[in-house]
């Protein structure tokens, strides 16, 4: 079956309705890669702000490779899923290292971003979707870019009631998108179908189907099944965890009489690469099996923090001390230096709630 009618209706819709996003108006693969990594688990509006900040600070792959991992994590703070930031940095280093000798010998003028699907796929943090997105958006290569929005549109256009997040489902959807892909205009096709899923063929359809330009090409509309699609497998159970944080605070009088006293605290870096928040900083923490610790302190704040597969029941206890306790793996910093460290979203929430100032 020819897709030409589908393409013309889709492109016409896209022309009129697409959002103006800076990474869709460039073919710079570095800028596109950065946007794709940022947007993996992030809403466009929030992602846009981070993308601009990253582009201003590290405008190309060599500048990002030269940064410290801690600076990249600090800039990423608030976006969550920090493995994306670590992989971003690792990938930049990998690209630069692989071309360094050629640049130094003058064989190539500057570092270039990988330009084949296979090379893109070999970068840390780049899966099938991201490789397809960069290959098509930057180089106009005929690869599909299947994000969640595209899975939904394909499930509905082809009326597929198989779960898309199983290995059998992925294969089936991949075949379908290959048969839909416009190999003459892959950049336009991927941009248009992603945007159509994001803005029009959304999870809640409302009255959209009645006015839809793809109505005649949409099997689920013809069969009345659109609202039930796509199907996903049952979600894994959320794991509960109980963290008790000790916020040690020590005041030391300034040597200058009219100056406020300095406030110090203790932080540590999370060092388990298999656990959440690897290489982020936080207050010393005790994890318990079934409930938060009952410990006395000046103030106690309880927060619940939900991640994709974990629910953290956190307790923050303030201890005011004359002398900081000596705890292995921690370091003493001034309270106002907390801003210099990459902190988890939970720690930031606690800081917001604590509103700790030198006087309280
Ligand atoms: S008819 Fe409805 S389900 Fe089908 S593509 Fe259009 S909006 Fe999506």
State the burial class of residue 307 (Cβ atoms within 10 Å of its Cβ: 0-12, 13-18, 19+).
middle
Atom of ligand 1 nearest to the CA of 212: 6
What is the 26 CA–ligand 1 centroid distance (Å)?
29
Which atom of ligand 1 approaches the CA of 213 most closely?
Answer: 6
Mean pLDDT of 123-131: 96
Same domain, 217 and 126: yes
For residue 107, report the distance from its CA to the centre of ligand 1, in Å. 52
For residue 282, give the H/E element and its range. strand 281-282
Question: Is residue 36 flagged as an active site residue?
Answer: yes
**Total domains, the chain:** 2
Q: What is the band of 293 on the pLDDT scale with cuts at 50, 70, 90?
A: confident
**Is 222 close to ligand 1, i.e. is its CB under 6 Å away?**
no
Q: What is the pLDDT of residues 228-250, one digit of tens each?
A: 999 998 777 899 999 999 999 99
Ligand 1 touching residue 48 (CB < 6 A): no
Residue 269: give its domain's CATH number: 3.90.79.10
Q: Is the domain of 186 the same as that of 46?
A: yes
Same domain, 107 and 186: yes
Same domain, 189 and 255: no
Sign of CA dihedral 227, 233, 234, 235: negative
Q: Is residue 254 part of a domain?
A: yes
Which among 200, 175, 173 is positioned nearest to 9, based on CA atoms? 200
299 conformational bin, left if phi > 0, alpha if psi -120 to 50, beta if neither: beta
pLDDT score for 78: 87
In this predicted structure, what is the pLDDT of residue 263? Answer: 87
| CA-nearest residue, atom 4 of ligand 1 | 218
208 CB near ligand 1 (under 6 Å): yes
In this structure, which residue's CA is closest to atom 2 in ligand 1? Answer: 209
> Is residue 266 domain-resident?
yes
**Active-site option among 36, 62, 195, 282:** 36
Both 220 and 246 in one domain: the answer is no
Tens of pLDDT, residues 157-168: 999 999 998 999
156 lines ligand 1 (CB under 6 A): yes
286 and 183, same domain (yes or no): no
pLDDT at residue 258, rounded to an integer: 58
Residue 132 has pLDDT above 90, yes or no: yes
- Give the end of a domain, one of 197, 228, 259: 228
Residue 220 Cβ < 6 Å to ligand 1 = yes
Is residue 212 lining ligand 1, measured as CB closer than 6 Å? yes
Within this chain, do residues 224 and 289 fall inside the same structural domain, yes or no? no
Q: Is 18 within the bounds of a domain?
A: yes
306 has pLDDT over 70: yes
Q: Are residues 110 and 141 in the same domain?
A: yes
pLDDT of residue 296: 75
Q: Is residue 322 a part of any domain in this protein?
A: yes
Q: Is 356's pLDDT higher than 80?
A: no
In the predicted model, is pLDDT for residue 200 greater than 60? yes
Q: 207 and 89: one domain? A: yes
Domain enclosing residue 334, as ranges: 239-354
Q: Is residue 359 in a domain? A: no
Lowest mean pLDDT among 169-173, 193-197, 238-242, 290-294: 290-294
Residue 8 has pLDDT above 50, yes or no: yes
Give pLDDT, residue 298. Answer: 75
pLDDT higher for 353 or 203?
Answer: 203
The rounded Å distance from CA 156 to ligand 1 centre is 7
**How many angstroms is it from 223 CA to the middle of ligand 1?**
11
Q: Answer yes or no: is 84 within a domain.
A: yes
Mean residue pLDDT of the chain comes to 92
CATH code for the domain in which residue 121 is found: 1.10.340.30
pLDDT of residue 140: 98
- pLDDT of residue 193 exceeding 80, the answer is yes
Band of the pLDDT at 255, cuts 50, 70, 90? low
Q: 203 and 283 share a domain?
A: no
Q: Is the CB of 6 under 6 A from ligand 1?
A: no
The token pair at 170 is 């992925």
Whether residue 259 is contained in a domain is answered as yes
The ligand 1 atom at the shortest distance from the C-alpha of residue 156 is 3
> What percentage of the chain exceeds 70 in pLDDT?
96
Tell which of 166, 197, 228 closes a domain.
228
How far apart (Å, rounded) are the C-alpha atoms in residues 112 and 28?
10
Judge if the beta carbon of residue 221 lies within 6 A of ligand 1: yes
What is the band of 86 on the pLDDT scale with cuts at 50, 70, 90? very high
Among the candidates 182, 198, 228, a domain finishes at 228
**pTM strictly above 0.85:** no
- Residue 270 sits in the same domain as residue 325: yes
Band (360; pLDDT cuts 50, 70, 90): very low
Model confidence at 308, in pLDDT bands (50, 70, 90)? confident
H or E element at residue 188: helix 186-199
Q: How confident is the model at residue 252 (pLDDT cuts 50, 70, 90)?
A: confident
Percentage of the residues of the chain whose pLDDT score is greater than 90: 80
Residue 233 included in any domain = no
Q: Work out the average pLDDT over 42-58.
A: 96
Residues 272-292: tens digit of each pLDDT: 999 999 999 999 999 999 878
CA–CA distance, 211 with 160 (Å, rounded to integer): 22
Q: How far is the CA of 37 from the centre of ligand 1 (A)?
A: 28
Same domain, 270 and 317: yes
Q: How sure is the predictor about 322, in pLDDT bands with cuts at 50, 70 and 90?
A: confident
Quote the Cα angle for 317-322-325, to 5°. 65
Rounded distance from Cα 200 to ligand 1 centre (Å)? 8
Q: Does the beta carbon of 180 sit less than 6 angstroms from any atom of ligand 1?
A: no
Ligand 1 atom with the shortest distance to the CA of 215: 1
**Confidence (pLDDT) at 196:** 98
In this predicted structure, the answer to whether residue 261 has a pLDDT above a threshold of 90 is: no
Assess whether pLDDT exceeds 80 at residue 317: yes
């Amino acid at each position: 079956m020819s897709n030409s009618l589908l393409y013309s209706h889709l492109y016409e819709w896209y022309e009129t309705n697409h959002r103006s996003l800076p990474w869709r108006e460039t073919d710079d693969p570095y800028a596109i890669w950065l946007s794709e990594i940022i947007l993996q688990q992030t809403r466009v509006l929030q992602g846009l702000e981070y993308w601009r900040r990253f582009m201003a600070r590290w405008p190309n792959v060599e500048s990002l490779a030269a940064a410290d991992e801690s600076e990249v994590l600090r800039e990423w703070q608030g976006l969550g899923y920090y493995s994306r930031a670590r992989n971003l940095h690792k990938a930049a280093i990998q690209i630069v290292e692989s071309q360094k000798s050629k640049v130094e010998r003058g064989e190539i003028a500057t570092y270039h971003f990988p330009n084949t699907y296979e090379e893109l796929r070999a970068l840390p943090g780049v899966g099938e979707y991201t490789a397809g997105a960069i290959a098509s958006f930057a180089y106009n290569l005929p690869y599909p870019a299947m994000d969640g929005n595209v899975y939904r549109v394909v499930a509905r256009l082809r009326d597929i009631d198989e779960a898309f997040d199983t290995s059998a489902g992925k294969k089936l959807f991949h075949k379908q998108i290959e048969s839909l892909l416009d190999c003459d205009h892959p950049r336009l096709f991927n941009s248009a179908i992603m945007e159509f899923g994001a803005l029009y063929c959304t999870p809640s359809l409302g009255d959209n189907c009645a006015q839809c330009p793809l109505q005649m090409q949409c099997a689920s509309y013809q069969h009345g099944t659109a609202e039930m699609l796509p199907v996903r497998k049952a979600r894994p159970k959320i794991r509960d965890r109980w963290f008790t944080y000790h916020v040690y605070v020590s005041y030391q009088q300034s040597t200058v009489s009219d100056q406020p006293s300095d406030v110090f605290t203790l932080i540590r870096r999370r060092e388990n690469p298999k656990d959440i928040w690897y290489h982020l900083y936080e207050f010393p923490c005790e994890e318990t099996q079934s409930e938060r610790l009952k410990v006395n302190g000046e103030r106690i704040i309880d927060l619940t923090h939900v991640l994709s597969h974990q629910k953290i029941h956190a307790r923050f206890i303030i201890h005011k001390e004359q002398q900081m306790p000596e705890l292995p793996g921690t370091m003493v910093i001034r309270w106002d230096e907390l801003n210099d460290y990459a902190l988890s979203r939970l720690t930031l929430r606690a800081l917001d709630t604590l509103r700790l100032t030198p006087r309280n």
